[in-house]
Amino acid sequence: MLDALTGPEQPTVLIVDDERLNRGMLAELLSPDYRVLLAKDGPGALAIAHREAHRLQLVLLDVGMPGMNGYEVLGALRAQERTAHIAVVFITGQSNAEAEEYGLRLGAADYVSKPIRPAVVEVRVRNQIRLALQRQALERLAMVDGLTGLANRRHFDDMLERSHRRSLRTGESVGLALIDIDHFKQYNDCYGHVQGDEALKAVAATLQRHARRPYDLAARFGGEEFALILPGESDAPAMAEHFRQEVLRLSIAHSASPTAPQLTVSCGVLTVRQPSTAPLQAWLQKVDGLLYQAKSQGRNRIAAAMEP
């Protein structure tokens, strides 16, 4: 059994082999410890890998399949951003060094030779799964703000670019909000930085509840500024207004604020209905201008606009 590194969900392994006997044997061997998926050919394997990319840690891939061999499947996996990260272990009856070197150069992580020895398969799969989970954990840490647990600026920039590409592909609108905690310097001066950190975490937790769908993202933009990406959201201003009111309901005292006796936020909200190839920096400049507008009009409010 794997230890707690695996988390509450079993790691996923895709077994790809044109021989039913081999698929069944490997599935029986691995199913106690892993979520096992099966494919009998290359096209089927690619379809599953694309669908399960966010959960799939490892592919056990037969080299000598008819139609589309294992090398071609690996090349197709590496050619797609969505599946390029998935570890692949080749299963092969070839024992020559040239074939093994060729597969490793293509990006295979390891080899398992036929006839299959269960103990060897278990060890090599466990090693690759552990490496994959460690890599995923490091990637998650690199994308998370340490204080609030929200996405950090790096993750925000990456997801905004992905949302832009997705919107160009699907024609869906994109909602984008920038949020600033009003008079936060005065809050820190009055209550101290430790209490200030607690306030940041409370606002962040409230914002996170508004990023409900898989493509939504709540992020710490920097300092006391936050951001929200809402792909396909038709009413981002209403979402931002609901968030503003929820922050009020937190009732975090702010006696140094000239706006209200409690902590408040100002929001700039841009809805892009028909995304274009214009630079993303233009989106950020517009939503930043809307945030400035909300603050200049008295704070504790939203300012929204819609791109045609």
Q: Which residues belong to the active site?
A: 224
Long-range contacts (CB closer than 8 Å, 24 or more residues apart) made by 274-278: 274/171, 274/173, 274/307, 274/308, 275/164, 275/167, 275/168, 275/171, 275/172, 275/173, 275/174, 277/168
Amino acid at 257: S
Contact call for residues 89 and 125 (beta carbons, < 8 A): yes
Token pair in block for residue 225: 């500024």
Angstrom distances, CA of residue 57 to CA of 29, 34, 227: 17, 10, 30
Question: In which residue are the tokens 């603050």 written?
Answer: 295
Collapsed DSSP state (helix, strand, coil) of residue 10: coil
Question: In which residue are the tokens 């400049």 written?
Answer: 285
- Please state, in angstroms and rounded to a whole number, the distance separating the CA atoms of residues 250 and 237: 20
- Calculate the CA 100 to chain-centre distance: 33
Contact call for residues 23 and 68 (beta carbons, < 8 A): no
Contact call for residues 139 and 228 (beta carbons, < 8 A): no
Residue 151: strand pairing partners: 144, 219
- Please state, in angstroms and rounded to a whole number, the distance separating the CA atoms of residues 15 and 233: 38
Contact call for residues 28 and 52 (beta carbons, < 8 A): no
